[in-house]
Structure 1
Amino acid sequence: MSSPLQRLLALVAVSLTAGLAGCADLPPVRAVRIATAATSEVMCNAAFVSRLDPQRAADDEMRPAGGMGLIAWGLRSEVDAERHEVRTTFAGQALGRATWREGGGCTVVHGDAPLPPLARTARVAQPDPFPGLAVPAPVPARDPRLAAAVDAAFQETAGATPRRTQAVLVVQHGRILAERYADDIRADTPLAGHSISKSVVHALVGVLVRQGRLNPDAPLQLPAWQTPGDPRATITPNLLLANASGLPWDEANRGWDGATRMWHVEPDPAAFAMRVPAETDPGTFFAYSNAGWTVLSRVLRDLNGGSAEGFNAFAERELMAPLGMRDTVLTIDATGTPMGANLFFASARDWARFGLLYLNDGVVNGRRLLPEGWVHEARTPTLDAGYGRGFWLNHRHDRHPLPGHWGLPGAPSEAFFARGYLGQFIVIVPSLDLVIVRLGVSYRQGGDVETVGRLVGEVVAVLRGAAIQPSK
């Protein structure tokens, strides 16, 4: 016999699903649509990109998310291995569907029509620029203090929110000093970078700037932004890269904010992003705008033939092949636009290779991939924020309600880092020629930012020969 709460939830479900056809944009209905689409996407990526248990991925990443406790009882997902697809329903309705395509990862699909296949991107053969990252097996730390610091990042505390660390990699002078993975993760497993993807967009925009194909300080001249008096007409690529475009902060991790709607409800996320109005004058206020990064992703597509294939060929030729990134998936949406705000995947070693590009001022094996000064600008604060362009900085240590901390507590002030939802970090410490990668699925504040900061601080102490402070 059902409880009163279950009967109430069932009534809510009936009310919601009955209105899906005619009231699809009502907030409650939109939240259910987002939940089904996001669950399908997470499970699809686990099954067909990372080759992990899709149900475990949903349990770890989706079940703890805000609001999911109210509707998880009604969610049902089906993994179709033959079609490379996952479908999720709520109370038998509100279908969310995600489909995998080679060369495009898993894409949320609206409607029943199949996605067109993508043409295969030819691999560019180049010598591995980082042979120290190409060793066949994971490299355990030789120094027991370094091993202890890495092991502590995986330890769980009874009664506390799980940290669910998936990978930790410590690289100095281009060689692995320490490496550890969760039981189901391998050195070549592509893992979600979430907003680390934005740092990759920063690099790809930099390539266009170096090639003279994009002026970072000239307004983008997007047709949707050209209405007389529209402040967006003055937005430049650099303002978007700095999150100072005037577009609003659209990510609150509540399940139905502007970003999740854009990714999981809108058939054309970039077109939706271009409709987002400015909230402040460009260049006057820091606001973390996924819409802005989605606009830049469309620019990357349009300046490379206007197709997914053109973008993939550009990214392979100009970034992934020169860095030796072979276990990387750049997700493409249904319009052929890269999901550069949130959905690029790479192995821990490939994320380290990307970090080495910024450690070495945009130069790899003597070849300059990024313009001179591009990395310096990435490390220069935006307005009063703890952010540069595409990277977070460590000159501020006060709390912030969304990132948890502006900086990385415990890490050196010179450190700068790429950062993603649920605890994805690529931390760069220039004075030690050091890159540290931490990947996981942590709902601790700021993606377990305090533990990650402690990890970085302890590794730095070992390398500098200093005493490690006891962990709290």
Structure 2
Amino acid sequence: MSLKLLHSVLAGLSLSASVAALADDAAIYKERWETFLKAPGQVSFGPLEEVVGAKPKPLPRLTQPSIPAAALAEADAYAAANKSSTLIVWRKGKIEFERYYGERNAESLLVSKSMAKPITAIAVGRAIKLGYIKSLDQSVADFVTEWRGTPKAAIKVRYLLDMRSGMLEQGFSTDPDHPLNRAYLDTDHGRHIVENYPLVATPGSVYGYANAPSELVALVIERATKMRYAQFVGRQVLQPIGAKGGKVWVNRPGGLAHSGCCMHLPAESWLRLGLLLLNDGKVGGKALLPKGYVAEMRRGTAQNPHFGLGIWIGNPWQERRGFGAPGRPGPQVLHSEPYLDPDLFLFDGNSNQVLYLSPKYDLAILRMGDTPPAKPEWDNAKLANLIMRAVK
């Protein structure tokens, strides 16, 4: 066979393989889209990539809880009545209560939904500490180089975390090709976000809660560190804090991780992530995050005082708080009363999955699970204030 003919054959094989891959991607997207359209909460998170964590020693447990038994029993009943997978109460260095519901146990990998967003902020802080990222105010275009010379070059790293990127806020569309859907379900969702996701406001000028900015954190981390997102989170976040690993949804085998929604970790790993922040970014006296970084995470913005860098802020109190900008329409989460610790902050994701962190009471409360029943309405202040009131 002549060299020219060989090149022609190989080119034909390559083209055939590319066409077949495109057909496979289209079929996968169609299946994901049809599932999502029928039940948005039932999308299959796959394929999954392993996130290698630590082989930790169990966190200390208090055999005789300091929190009154009646309060713990009431908290347990509230969690059980609201389709919880787990409830853990930690105070002053020790776990005082831990329960798993249904078939869940301490080894179960729990789907984070938007509780993954605080991980993106922790990962960025760790990357800054290690020198991979200069600062929160560095342009995202230094990593997403496709944006250089465009209006999106004004997006700072912090804007991906505090939801002030200026990119289209979260919503719903029945158009399968809408950027919201391609940015979530496509087998190359990162490319769609970079190339097609709309910029609708000047970066830094408005708050607009969305998955797309958080999803871009995986791309920033990978380009900054030259590591897979799962690898970086496992090695540089979970292992140093002694947390077990899990899995993360990637758009295709070897593709980009869904950093904004879909980390799967055991309950205690979620707790340890919160304890890292409660301890000002330190573990065993060693700083994993830059000095002052946790304070930055806990600082709201003029556009939304309730949201910092990936985390929610308890004060100022608002009886009903949505994930969107203040005053915007959409689902509102009930907070029946102010938090008893005005400095309380929390991980807060879809299905009312929460990790409350109270500096005043040296307290962490984790509730994960399915969406609670519509009636009686879930109260985001209930568990935290129930326990804080009992230990006053």
TM-score using structure 2 length? 0.79
The answer as to 2:284 corresponding to 1:365 is: yes
The answer as to 2:358 corresponding to 1:429 is: yes
CA distance in 1, matches of 2:45, 2:108: 24
Are the counterparts in 1 of residues 281 and 294 from structure 2 also a CA contact under 8 Å?
yes
* Aligned pairs (5 A) from 1:243-282: 243-252=163-172, 258-264=179-185, 266-275=186-195, 276-282=197-203
Are the counterparts in 1 of residues 86 and 104 from structure 2 also a CA contact under 8 Å?
yes
CA distance in 1, matches of 2:92, 2:174: 41
Counterpart amino acid of residue 268 in structure 1? D
Q: How far off is 1:407 after superposition?
A: 6.3
The Cα RMSD (Å) is 3.4
The verdict on how the C-alpha distance between 1:142 and 1:184 changes in structure 2, with shifts beyond 3 A counting, is: farther
SS of the residue aligned with 2:239? helix
The verdict on how the C-alpha distance between 1:258 and 1:442 changes in structure 2, with shifts beyond 3 A counting, is: farther
For residues 257-313 of structure 1, give each alpha carbon's deviation from its aligned partner in whole angstroms, at most 9, with x where no partner exists.
75444222x1211111113121111111000121111111111122232x53xx433
Q: How far off is 1:417 after superposition?
A: 0.7
Are the counterparts in 2 of residues 410 and 456 from structure 1 also a CA contact under 8 Å?
no
Are the counterparts in 2 of residues 140 and 179 from structure 1 also a CA contact under 8 Å?
no
Report which structure shows greater RCO (CA 8 Å, sep ≥6). Answer: 2
1:4 corresponding residue in structure 2: none
The answer as to 2:383 corresponding to 1:455 is: yes
1:440 corresponding residue in structure 2: 369
Aligned-residue sequence identity (percent) comes to 23
CA distance in 1, matches of 2:376, 2:162: 24
* Aligned pairs (5 A) from 1:36-435: 36=35, 65=40, 98-100=46-48, 103=50, 128=57, 131-132=59-60, 143-156=68-81, 163-215=82-134, 216-221=136-141, 222-227=144-149, 230-252=150-172, 258-264=179-185, 266-275=186-195, 276-305=197-226, 308=228, 311-334=229-252, 335-385=254-304, 386-394=306-314, 395-399=316-320, 400=322, 401-402=329-330, 404-405=332-333, 409-412=337-340, 413-435=342-364
Are the counterparts in 2 of residues 330 and 338 from structure 1 also a CA contact under 8 Å?
yes
Q: Which structure 2 residue ranges, 5 or more long, are not aligned?
A: 1-22, 323-328
CA distance in 1, matches of 2:66, 2:244: 24
For residues 140-164 of structure 1, give each alpha carbon's deviation from its aligned partner in whole angstroms, at most 9, with x where no partner exists.
99732222222232354xxxxxx31
CA distance in 2, matches of 1:409, 1:350: 29
- Paired positions, count: 352
The verdict on how the C-alpha distance between 1:182 and 1:285 changes in structure 2, with shifts beyond 3 A counting, is: same
Are the counterparts in 2 of residues 438 and 452 from structure 1 also a CA contact under 8 Å?
no
SS of the residue aligned with 1:325? coil
Are the counterparts in 2 of residues 174 and 356 from structure 1 also a CA contact under 8 Å?
no
The verdict on how the C-alpha distance between 1:460 and 1:241 changes in structure 2, with shifts beyond 3 A counting, is: same
For residues 11-31 of structure 1, give each alpha carbon's deviation from its aligned partner in whole angstroms, at most 9, with x where no partner exists.
xxxxxxxxxx9xx89xxxx88
CA distance in 2, matches of 1:442, 1:170: 20
For residues 432-452 of structure 1, give each alpha carbon's deviation from its aligned partner in whole angstroms, at most 9, with x where no partner exists.
11111010111557x998434
Are the counterparts in 1 of residues 334 and 379 from structure 2 also a CA contact under 8 Å?
no
For residues 234-271 of structure 1, give each alpha carbon's deviation from its aligned partner in whole angstroms, at most 9, with x where no partner exists.
1110111110111121245989775444222x121111
Are the counterparts in 1 of residues 109 and 265 from structure 2 also a CA contact under 8 Å?
yes
The verdict on how the C-alpha distance between 1:379 and 1:296 changes in structure 2, with shifts beyond 3 A counting, is: same
CA distance in 1, matches of 2:351, 2:222: 27
CA distance in 1, matches of 2:270, 2:69: 25
TM-score using structure 1 length? 0.66
Q: Which structure 1 residue ranges, 5 or more long, are not aligned?
A: 1-20, 40-61, 69-87, 89-95, 105-120, 157-162, 465-472
Are the counterparts in 1 of residues 345 and 357 from structure 2 also a CA contact under 8 Å?
yes
